[in-house]
Amino acid sequence: METSRQRARLFTVPWLSLLCLAVACSGRSAPTTAEDTADTRDDAVDAGDGPDAGPDGGPDGGPDGGPDELDDAGSPGPGRSTRTVEANGVRVDVIVDVPDVGAGAGAAIDALLLFHGTVVDDDRILQAAEDTLEGFRAILDRDDLLLVSVAYPEEGLLMGDNVAHAEAALLWVREQADAALGITVGKVFLAGHSQGGYVVTRLNTLHAVDGVLANAPGPLDLVFRCQLEEDGRIDASVTCDQLSATYGSTTENPDAYAARSLLAFTTAHRSDIVFFQGLDDSPIQMRSWPLFKEQVEACTDCRDRRFVELPGLGHGALFVSAEARRAFNEMLAAP
């Protein structure tokens, strides 16, 4: 019988671009997650892309499991290295790509931290971080950014617990990267896809940066999603299984599920943020998207918010839409 981990094999962003050539990346012609194949199982409840189109749908860890060794020290200067970094007593692996600034050496280098989607198994997260770096690089207009792709862990953690690891990476870039990499870090931006979008949205309620970009962030509503699983209307997932083991059912303890949903983080955004959402994403994602957007737009203590909604596109809309790419790069180019 297929397990929830087997169902959570996700797309690799570079592979998505090849797939798009074949299907023109329109509508639901091609799934952006392995769970997209589940969207005909329960039309009555619009379950769509399986247990969750929010966190699921990010870059796939791939068969190789990522780099074999971590280079904790690395070498200052241009190039790519994989490091274990630490801040606030929390350690996390990151893939760091330092640009060759040439004659501009000594000038501040802006940093873009990148966050992958769900891969479930931690032996796949380094490859997911690598794929995420390449996927975002493909839509960048700039080639002078310090790219830091964060391999935040997932295995054995409740949804949202890994925000502490994401925060550690952000603090390392701000406080330690200058010395570690032999550069001067300038502006700091955050970008994430799917669960990575969830992570950067939550980070934006903790720290002010120079801009945040979130594609198809989720899970938006864990109460709704996990209730569908409890009712047997969609397949079980690791995410909801772990929450159930800790808190009981959504009926017994709905507040615990709600507290970890992205709908609980629609205020106090400290930085300008752009949300990207394909409007042909899964029914689960789209059921809660209008409410999430409404609550963020109604925020009275948030910095600027912008929503780029993309008709006819699905979970990976940012990576295939020219409109989304323009908005993405406008944020990175802002003075």
Kindly list the averaged pLDDT for each block of 10 residues, start to end, along the chain of length 335.
38 36 32 33 33 35 38 67 97 96 73 96 96 98 97 97 98 96 96 98 98 98 98 96 98 98 98 98 98 98 98 98 98 91
State if pTM tops 0.95: no
- What pLDDT does 52 receive? 35
Sheet strand arrangement including 184-193: 79-87, 90-98, 146-151, 108-115, 184-193, 212-215, 273-278, 305-310
Torsion over CA: 248, 251, 255, 258 (sign): positive
State the pLDDT at residue 335.
Answer: 80
CA 257 to chain centre: 20
How much is the pLDDT for 105?
56
Strand-pairing partners, residue 276, are 215, 308
- pLDDT number for residue 334: 84
**Residue 227 structure tokens:** 């209730």
Closest CA to 202 of 220, 175, 187, 188: 220
**Contact at 8 Å (CB) between 278 and 307?**
no
Residue among 240, 242, 246, 216 at smallest CA distance from 228: 240
Residue boundaries of the structural domains of the chain = 4-333
Ramachandran quadrant class, 79 (left: phi over 0; alpha: psi -120 to 50; beta: rest): left
* pLDDT for res 101: 78
Helix (H, G, I), strand (E, B) or coil at 153: coil
CB atoms within 10 A of CB 157: 16
4-333: CATH topology is Rossmann fold (3.40.50)
Say how far apart CA 267 and CA 311 lie, in whole Å: 26
Q: Which residues of 239-268 are buried (b: 16+ CB within 10 A; e: fewer)?
A: bbeebbeebeebeebbebbeebbbbbbbee
Q: Quote the pLDDT of residue 102.
A: 63
